[in-house]
Structure 1
């Protein structure tokens, strides 16, 4: 082949090369630059031929290149000639990029020439970086998993374990490597090695194998729910088992705690109401006698209000501790309400039951210390005897509860079950339930009794009175169901029901063009102490668009005698709204006269018991004195229960302002009294 042809061949090969090929002379001047080099560096061949090769290098390399080249030419060993290495190249736009550079040396006509082969590493490095990042992410994910992750070889030795695994078993990561998993598993039945070994022996894919195993931990065992799967390596290496485990110790403990709390009181550890009822049947032995004690610890609510619920719990826990210490272990104890315990105890006779009740009361009434102060529980005990009173255990519980209430009502330390009292209590509970339904269904009627001006004989206003016919017991007196409502926390609900009905009556009377009525509503003690009462009345006035002067409130003398700051604030608020307040049944408490000068009330109502004795000299003197005191405080006076004309005449002569009673008019349905059309 001729020399010219050989040159053409070399040029063709250089141009066809995928990698950039650059040639330089001894001075570092570029003498050759193939097409791949043009694409790599962004220069045209004619732009770099004759330029120093430094133009293709980053500044921090370029400034030393000439020195390196001269040193080499003077005989110093080369660090790059004949060796491939990763360096940085500089693109025409000034950016740098990674490349693999191999430099060779050739002599031509006595001159040294250097050939550099440049391979772009940008994509390669990006792939490596991505692989590294992926591996790092995978490692982070595995290490950050709360799951326990491990790999096992065919001898069940650990070849990999993540941080959670190490943390749960309390063994450093390096110390885990190579030890059998079975050595740190508390597997008394040896299920774990059998199942895992089976996964290696079987030629079939067994899928996942799940097993719960307690792992030996540094302080205690940790229950782990494991899932193992055989993993084929895909090459000549043997398969391994991949294990994923979840520490379910807390879950199991929570389940156990939840099951415990379903049947036990968390404060005392006693059985709760439902569990106690269920346990009685299994606990009682045939042919034996028992006393069921229902222990009522009153004052508990007051203590929690004063010292807080946490202190209340401490007292109940201490009371339970005393019961455990003071009673035989054979007794069955329970806590059935916040302040009530029950104890079922085997007894020989009624005397032993009485002795046990006395012991319980004395034990629980001893002082308790809270925040350095001593407090006491007022304890009463109800006793029901099995099988003397009944063999039905649910009924026995009700009987003991009834007996405890009987003891409380009569101020006794203990009381046996009384069928008559129990029947009366059952009737009251029936009334309470019926009353709740009646309020919800608007089945309680509002009657009105007029109040007359004793000087003119004209109607001055009305008092709202409730009437109710029970679906089973018939008409029930307000004197019976109103106190039941107050005791059962229905008092507020009943008050608001009546207030709403009265607001409706006033609004309807105004709408029909009737005279604007003034109607008084009795308010229970607890409701009047509720700061929300003022807001409720304010909303009523707004909703029904009625004037405040048309609505009056009556409170008993007992409320006045127990006056609190909240009550005084409520009275001030009502007065600012324009709502008048009257003291009902005045005189029955005898101790409230001194309160008159401090109260924001508008009216006194003299109780019927004084009006009944009005025609006697002593009775007349007393009523006259009450009227004089009221007038001295600029209060209006209304006499209740006027039944004769003579009583009305005497009261008018005494300058009593208003009167109401059967002499004037009996209470009647509100529509009838107001003459409303529906």
Structure 2
């Protein structure tokens, strides 16, 4: 059956895009008519045959909300979808309040969103047309095809189940009739196994509001099985506006949760050995530090590097080398306690966290045991292989007060062990600890830079990986002070966080970036939006929101030109607090991005709670994108981003290979040294004004790697 669509717009580009998205081949779903004037449309609508209208509010003979009001008055029975410019979103929302069914951003029609939107509103309108002939519950059920639907009366007693609800609960419509909602729709928390304090159906009836469940809710079915669900409960009103009952709509999210858990495991574990990777180890070390501070205890880190492992790879091949690494991993696990952590850092390096060491002797005993165990032959592919290792040991708090310092101290001690000969271990020396004084030097110079205006911002463009357009820019802090020129930016930020400078530094960066964005706007420089990183300490400052408001007011910058990048670990630190803060920022009109996505612990269910615009793939995955594990992670993130209607941008694109893989995985945007290093504001303005960008030939010439295969279910395979 065909659906007739009227496109009312004089924008040829938008009209052409819409026609391409709405398949009009013989037997297709949509027949499309196009008009450019409101007056012509009103005449056309006097005749029947239009199922939905796509309306541009800016027409030759009408403009703004009046356009919608006139059209709606002439055909109130036909659903209307608004086309809106980004800066006209307020008018589009007002049109929705006046009766429009939805609005779409002009020039940004992604995938099947247009036909899907039309399909949904047409179906909704057809259902609404039968409203007076059917019971009120029929509308809800028909509008919820595919989801389970349960309706109740004012007392919360069930009077309807659709087929999906029957299948999920195990109750038939006849069995459930008259039963209290909590008996059929029996829900508990996945972890505590306790039911919610207030059933969402009763809350919807009492408060006359839509109510949802926590994302960790489980439905207990009649046969004893369990299903992870997401739901919402809404009151049902009659034509007099009185509540006559409630409806709960829910669906199975078990598969989505499984995918989230799988992705989290991939992000936190080494693909070859299945040991925790550097991300998970850092978290375990942070936990150990917190525990040691509370209990006044110590722990040790062992940095282990295999001796002459390269020779095995060169002589016997990487396949044999990989099997040897797996054998080493198994033996290391058996050498330590269950409370300890064995991790692989990459290559032939392993880090071992020995929790709660009474003294350095405990670390010595563990190191001796490891040296002896690894020295036994490894039987790999019909041959006995011999391997030894060198171990460096650091002890908290003597050798460092944070994970980075402890790892570096253990790493330095490991190199000392190698210098003294293979197959031995060394503790971090006092001389190594003196390197910590460098942190004090950095702090001193950082304070001087802030006080004496020796800080600058550089800007790295964000590029659309399909057409090469600049879609945004990230502001990056640098110091002009000679003593800090060779210090890695991440190290500067870490020191700033430790010494309490991060808040004034962050405030300066945001203000400077906003001033620069306003200058670019005044000069006609195209930059999309300017992104600024926000640390966990800044984000949870009491005056963070008020400072942002004051900065926008002082710089006269519209909020839509500012993007704040927040790491997922910051968001998950306090979900409710983070959600509240993000909603405030979103309401201001600021864009929000999750930085370094994939390295933390956010789940799909929690991610949906946050009002985000962008997911940024951490550069650690991009740098190793040619490995199947990191490729799978990136593919999963891209798929998740599209599912949540978020932009996905990859960081750290440095080679053509990185670009080719990301294009193959349909990653939308990216940034990195392949396109441009961080540059000054003036250099960026010149670059933006250049019609032919220097990276266009890279984007157009790079071919999809032959060994990347992305299946329909977004599984990535690497062929040899």
Q: Same fold (TM over 0.5)?
A: no
TM-score bucket (shorter structure): 0.3 to 0.5
- Normalising by structure 1, report the TM-score: 0.39
- Normalising by structure 2, report the TM-score: 0.36
**Which has the higher relative contact order, 1 or 2, with Cα contacts under 8 A spaced 6 or more apart?**
2
